[in-house]
A and B are shown apart, each in its own frame.
Chain A
Amino acid sequence: MQQLLLYPLLFQLFLSIFLMFFWKKIDAQKIISIVGGFIAVFLSGVLFYTVWNSGIQTVQAASWEAPYGITFVADTLSATLVLLTSIAGLAVSFFSSASVIPARLRFGYFPIYHFLLLGLTGAFLTGDIFNLYVWFEIIIISSFVLITLGGEKAQIEGAVKYFTLNILASIIFLTAIAVLYGLAGSLNMADLATIIPQLENRKLVEVAAILFLVGFGIKSAVFPLYFWLPASYHTPPSAVAAIFGGLLTKVGVYALIRIFSLIFLDDVFLDDILLVVAVLTIFSGAIGSLVQKNVRKIFSYLIICHIGFMIAGLGMGTEIAFAGMVFYLIHDIMVKTNLFMVSGLIYRIKGTNNVRLLGDLYANFPKLSLLMFIPLLSVIGVPPFSGFWPKVSLIIASLNEKNYVIMGAIIFGSLLTLIIIARLWSNVFWKKGEDLPKRDHFLYFQKMNRLKKFQFLAPIILLAGVSLYIGFGAEHMQQLSNRIASELIDNTQYIEAVMPQNN
C-alpha cells in the first residue's frame, strides 16, 4: 500500500488512455468518464483518509532517495485538494455528458478532460519543482485543447489571449527554476527549503522569488496579470468553464502557497508585495464584476476578486490567516465550479447569458431557482453558508496583525459580492424577462427528457450539497484547515517526511 498516493494519479492516466479506445463512441465515453469519476473520488478518499490518520505520505519514484529522485508527497493540503479535484471532476463529467454538444464530444473531449484532471492531481502531489513545471504544462496543453474545441470565432479569440499569457507564465516559471537551480543546485522542494535559508546571496533569492510570484501570479490571475481570464473564460462551453474556474486558477494559488510557505520564508519585502497585490486584486475583481452584463463574465471577475482573499491570507502568514486561506480555497473550488454550471443551466433554459435579456426564472422554475440560490448564497458568504466562516478567520487574522487595510478590503470585497449577486438575482430570477425568439437547433432544458435533466441537475445538487456541508459542518472544515495551517507554518514535518535520513 506504499504507492497509495500514486493511485489517483495513475488512475486518471489509465482512464484517459482507456477513453481513447472509444474515440467515436461518445455514449461509451460518457459512461466510462462518469464511472471513472466515482472510482477517482473513492481512490482520493482513501488517500485523504490515510493522510488524515497516519500523517504525510511520500513515494520516491524508482526508490531514488530524495533529493536525487522525484518525490511525490501527500500532506493534508495536497490530499484535500486531490479529493476536491476528484469531486469537482466527477460533477463536471456528469455535467459535460449532458451539456456539451456531440460535435465537440466527438473530437476527444473526454480523454483530454481526464488528461487535465491528471495534470491537476499531479501538480498537487508532486514534491519536485521541475516536476511541478511538467504537470503545469500538461494542464495548460489540455486546457488549450478544451478551450479551442469547437473553433467558434469568440472561442478562438479568447484562446489566443489565454494561451499567450499561459505560455509566457510557463517561461517565467522555467526562468525561476533556472535561477533557483543555479543558486541551490537542487530541485526537490523539501531540500530547497533547507538550502535556501542558508544562502548568502539574498538578493538573487529575492529575484527568484519574484519570478515565481509573477509566473504563478499570471496563472492564478492576481491584480496586474489577470486580464486573460475574463477575456477567455466566457467563451468555451460552460462545463469547460466550470472546471477552469473551479480548479485552474486554484492550482496557481496552490503553487504560490507551496512556494511561499516552504521555500521563501520570512521575507518582509515579499509579504508586503503579496498584501498589496491581494488588496488590488480584490478591488479590481469586484469593481470589474460590477459593470459586466454577461452572467459568465460576472462570475469570471468574481473569481479574480476571491483569489485576492486567498493571497491576503498568504501575505499575512500567521497560522490563523493560513487556516482562513485554506478554508476559503476549499470553499471556492466547490462554489466556483458550481456557479459556472449554474450559468450553463441558465443558458440552456433561456438560450442566453445576457443579464439584460434574462428574467422571470423564479416565476417559471421556482424549485430550480431555489437550487441555484444555494451556490449564490455560498459565494456571498451569508452565514451559515460556506463562504462566511473562512472570512471570519481572515478578518480575525488581519485584526491580530493590526492590518486594517486588508480587513477593509475583505469587507469591501464581500459587500460588493453581495451587491453583485443580489442584482444578479433580481435581474435573472425576479425581473420580467423579454420574450426571446426561439432558437433553431438548440436543445432547451424544458424540452429535454428526464435522463438528460437528471444529468444536468445531479452535479449541481452534488456540489450544492458539498457547499452546504462545508457551511453547516464548518467545525470539521475548521479542524481540517487548522491542521493544514499548522503543517504549513511548521515546515519541518514536510521536510522530515521527504528526507528522513537527514535527522
Chain B
Amino acid sequence: MEFLLAIITGLLYAAGLYMMLRRSLVKLIIGLIIISNGANLLIFLLGRITKGHPPIIPGDSKIFTEIYADPVPQALILTAIVISFGLQSFAIILIKRAYQVVKTDDLDEMNTIEEDYK
C-alpha cells in the first residue's frame, strides 16, 4: 500500500509540475490543483499508514493497548484541503477575469508594458 501511494504521490507531483510549465493559464491552474493533491497524499503517506486500528480506546480500558492510527495527519490534510479549495476557487475566478481583461490564455503575452501616463 505504501509503495503504491508513493508512486501515486510522485506521479501527481510530476504531472502537476509538467502542467505548470505549460504556457496556458488553465493548465497552470490544473497543475497547481494536481500538485496540491500530491502534497495532501504525501502528508497521509508520511504520517504512517495503519490499517484497521482507529484511534479509539476500548470501553473497558483507559489507555491504548495496541498500535493505533495517528489521527493528526488526517486533521492536517482536512485543513489543507479546505484551504486549497478556497485558494483554487479564487484562482479559477481570477483566470476567468484575466481572460476577459487580457483576452488571451497565453502566459507569455501577459507582459503588457504599462503606459504610465495616459
CB <8 Å contact, B117 and A352: yes
CB pair A134 B83 closer than 8 Å: yes
A154 interface neighbour in B45, B107, B112, Cβ under 8 Å? B112
A295 to chain B, nearest CB (A): 10
Separation of A148 and B72 alpha carbons in the complex (Å): 35
B98 touches A354 (CB 8 A): no
Across the interface, do B79 and A134 meet the contact criterion of CB distance under 8 Å? yes
CB neighbours (8 Å) of B47 from chain A are 178, 181-182
Question: In the complex the two chains form, is B79's CB within 8 Å of A130's CB?
Answer: yes
Contacts A141-B86, A141-B87, A153-B101 known; A357 to B76 CB distance under 8 Å?
Answer: no
The chain A residue sitting closest to B32, CB to CB, is A167
Residues on A with beta carbons closer than 8 Å to the beta carbon of B110: 157, 160-161
B42 interfacial by beta-carbon distance below 8 Å = yes
Instruction: Please judge, given known A-B contacts A351-B117, A357-B117, A439-B118, whether A156 and B46 are in contact too, CB under 8 Å.
Output: no
List residues 37-95 of chain B with CB under 8 A from any CB of chain A: 39-40, 42-43, 45-48, 70, 72-73, 76, 79-80, 83, 86-87, 90-91, 94-95
| A391 CB to nearest chain B CB (Å) | 33
A154-204 contacts to B (CB < 8 Å)? 154, 156-157, 159-161, 163-164, 167-168, 170-171, 174-175, 177-179, 181-182, 185, 187
A160 and B43 in contact, given A148-B94, A354-B116, A357-B116 (Cβ under 8 angstroms): no
Whether B20 pairs with A157 at a CB distance below 8 angstroms is: no
Q: Are B97 and A151 in contact (CB under 8 A)?
A: yes
B residues in contact with A167, CB < 8 Å:
32, 36, 87, 91
Q: How many residues of A contact B (CB 8 A)?
A: 43
Q: Is B11 an interface residue (CB 8 A)?
A: no
A175 vs B114: C-alpha distance when bound (angstroms):
37
Q: In the complex the two chains form, is B102's CB within 8 Å of A156's CB?
A: yes
Whether B20 and A156, one on each chain, are in contact in the complex, defined by CB atoms closer than 8 angstroms, is no
List A residues 264-313 near B (Cβ within 8 Å).
294
Contact A178 B83, CB 8 Å, known A157-B98, A357-B116: no
- How many A-B pairs have beta carbons closer than 8 Å: the answer is 103
Closest Cβ–Cβ distance, residue B13 to chain A (whole Å): 8
- CB contact between A156 and one of B91, B94, B111 (< 8 Å): that residue: B94
- Determine how close the nearest CB of chain B comes to the CB of A454; give it in whole angstroms: 28
Q: Contact check, B42 vs A175: say whether CB atoms are below 8 A apart.
A: yes
| Residue A436 at the chain B interface, CB threshold 8 Å | yes
Q: Is the CB of A353 within 8 A of B102?
A: no
Minimum CB–CB distance for B6 against chain A, Å: 12
In angstroms, Cα B101 to Cα A151, docked, is 8
Contact (A353, B80) CB under 8 Å given A156-B101, A164-B32: no
Please give, as numbers and ranges, the residues of chain A lying within 8 Å of B114 by CB-CB distance.
154, 234-235
Decide: B46 and A178 in contact? CB cutoff 8 A. yes
**B39 lies within 8 A of A175 (CB):** yes
* Cα separation A153 to B113 with both chains bound (whole Å): 11
| Closest Cβ–Cβ distance, residue A98 to chain B (whole Å) | 22
Q: Known contacts being A154-B114, A159-B94, A357-B116, is A137 close to B46, with CB within 8 Å?
A: no
Chain B's nearest CB lies how many Å from the CB of A439? 7
Name the residue on A nearest B80 (C-beta). Answer: A174
Say if the beta carbon of A144 comes within 8 Å of chain B.
Answer: yes
Task: List 13 extra interface pairs beyond A148-B94, A354-B116, CB under 8 A.
Answer: A141-B90, A145-B90, A152-B101, A153-B101, A154-B114, A156-B94, A156-B98, A167-B87, A168-B20, A178-B45, A179-B42, A352-B116, A353-B116
A interface, CB within 8 angstroms of B = 130, 133-134, 137, 140-141, 144-145, 148, 151-154, 156-157, 159-161, 163-164, 167-168, 170-171, 174-175, 177-179, 181-182, 185, 187, 234-235, 294, 351-354, 357, 436, 439
List the interface of chain B (C-beta within 8 A of A): 20, 25, 28, 32, 35-36, 39-40, 42-43, 45-48, 70, 72-73, 76, 79-80, 83, 86-87, 90-91, 94-95, 97-98, 101-102, 107, 110-112, 114, 116-118
Can you give 16 A-B contacts (C-beta < 8 A)? A141-B86, A153-B112, A157-B110, A161-B110, A171-B39, A175-B42, A178-B39, A178-B45, A178-B47, A179-B46, A181-B72, A182-B47, A294-B116, A352-B117, A353-B116, A354-B117
